[in-house]
Structure 1
Amino acid sequence: IAVSFSGCVTSRHIDELKAEHREIKAQITDSGSKIDKMEQLITENADASKKLRNEISSSNDQIQEQIDALLENYNELLRMLQQISTELNTKRIVVGSVGGGTVEQLPSTDKGVTSPPQEIVTKPTVDCGKLYDDSFVLFRSNEDYEGAITSFNNFIEKCPDNPSVENAHYWIGECYYALEKYVDASEKFDYLLKNFKSTVNASRAMYKLARCKQELGKNKEAKKIFQQLIDEYPESLEGSQAKDLIKDL
């Protein structure tokens, strides 16, 4: 048997086995190198994906700030138009002031008849534009959310017919949201959507209402509102965000 075995295993066979061993070892080394490269690519892709998500998030925040700024400019134009309209439609001519109020003279309706000026003393008017702007500064610049809520409510009370009233309701909701008072914020956003059907803040209010429901653990309600937002405002920034968030509900 020993002779037979030694006759079968020659030095050539041993060399071939060594060559195969070296080839296998080289293949293992090559495979290890490829695995390292794959792991490196996976890590790089993960880092790139994370960076992209951060950039998208930052871009969304910048877009939202630009939208807020445009909305404020739009509201300012509305206030100016309202003031101009009021001045054009008035039938009284201001001629002086008495005791802190405004003294006005009514124009004569009879030609050729001279009548003494009729003086009407009115209460000092409220500068609604300044009152709203001061409230917004408390919210946006000072981040004094409690103070902003009080100021916006004061604006709504004193200027109920001002076109910026609906915006004031929206920002009050944002103040409550920033204070993590999600029940109060939810009620305010819901009030805005029900009482101002054509509000320009509809998509934002709907989005924040859904987020409030999420924070309160009412995911079923949040999902329903997100879906409504997607259906009614599919091209809006909030609609796009809702498409991502609804997947987790």
Structure 2
Amino acid sequence: MKVCPVAVLLIPLTFSLLVGCATTKDVAHLQGQIGDLQQKVDILRGRVTSEMQQNWVNFETSLGELRQEIKILRANIEEDRDLLNKVANDLEALKKDYETKGSSLTKVKGEGVAAALPPSASTTLPKEEPKEDMEGAYQKAYSTFKKGDYPNALEQFGAFLSTYPHSEYADNAHYWIGECYHQQGDYERAIVAYEKVMKQYPKGDKVPSALLKQGFAFLDMGDRVNAKIIFNKVTKEYPRSPQAEIAAKKLKVLD
């Protein structure tokens, strides 16, 4: 069989064209796959960035709450120190008073006492509640609170206020009642208790903390609007206080 020279020449040319077409299709297919992969990478990068940003926000929120708890603990420590100082001073005053009265009584002997006092004096003298009893009752309730026994602490603070409604620790007792409710998730009652601190003792040292914690109670209820109102009030009314610093940080997170 005789092969045509022209046919022989056309075979390499046809093969080259076929190879060229196949190569072009492969390149186009690879480019399409690369484009798809790039798109997937971009989507994943966006998701990772979004998750990282959310995690960072959550981290800042948790860090802010941790700092708040540390400041509250420090405030509690300061309160314990002040209470111990008051107890020590009161005990010293009672000791001096006892010594003074004791020395005076030793000067009165036997019948002189009966002559100086009316017959019913021993039964008509007013009875005063010792101050150490009041402080002991308050300290007992506060110690119960610090142990995390909120139901019993709530009961003890309530009993304290019933017995000593006008004591110097009354505002503190109302504040810790609010904290007991707050820790138990009864946010509405906590808000009412904090309000009592502010209304009944407007010049008390617990007012800034009560106002701040009222904002947290609203926030824990999911009421961001009222929480922001309260936090703004803290920053305006007590601008240089630790409570204002905490409120300002919460406002940044809520905005």
- TM class, shorter-length: 0.5 to 0.7
Q: Does 1:80 align with 2:87?
A: no
1:65-144 → structure 2 map (5 Å cutoff): 65-87=69-91, 89=93, 92-94=97-99, 104-107=101-104, 114-116=107-109, 125=130, 126-143=132-149
> Is there any run of 5+ residues in structure 1 with no aligned partner, and where?
1-9, 96-103
1:1-249 → structure 2 map (5 Å cutoff): 18-87=22-91, 89=93, 92-94=97-99, 104-107=101-104, 114-116=107-109, 125=130, 126-143=132-149, 145-159=150-164, 163-213=168-218, 221-232=226-237, 235-245=244-254, 247=255
More strand by share: 1
Larger Rg: 2
**Cα deviation digits, residues 101-147 of structure 1 (max 9, x gap):** xxx52548xxxx9544989996673434443333234334243x332
Displacement of 1:200 after TM fit? 4.4
Q: Is the 8 A contact 2:181 2:189 kept in 1?
A: yes
Residue of structure 2 in register with 1:5 after alignment:
none
In structure 2, the CA distance between the partners of 1:121 and 1:232, relative to structure 1 (3 Å rule), is: closer
Letter in 2 for 1:68: I
CA distance in 2, matches of 1:164, 1:35: 66
Deviates more, 1:79-88 or 1:148-157: 79-88
Higher relative contact order (CA 8 A, sep 6+): 2
**Cα deviation digits, residues 211-237 of structure 1 (max 9, x gap):** 545677876644432332343456522
Identity of aligned residues (%): 17
Displacement of 1:151 after TM fit? 0.6
CA distance in 2, matches of 1:187, 1:168: 14
Deviates more, 1:203-212 or 1:63-72: 203-212
TM-score in terms of structure 2 length: 0.65
TM-score in terms of structure 1 length: 0.66
Q: Is the 8 A contact 1:226 1:242 kept in 2?
A: yes
Q: Give the number of aligned pairs.
A: 224
SS for the counterpart of 1:41 is helix
SS for the counterpart of 1:92 is helix
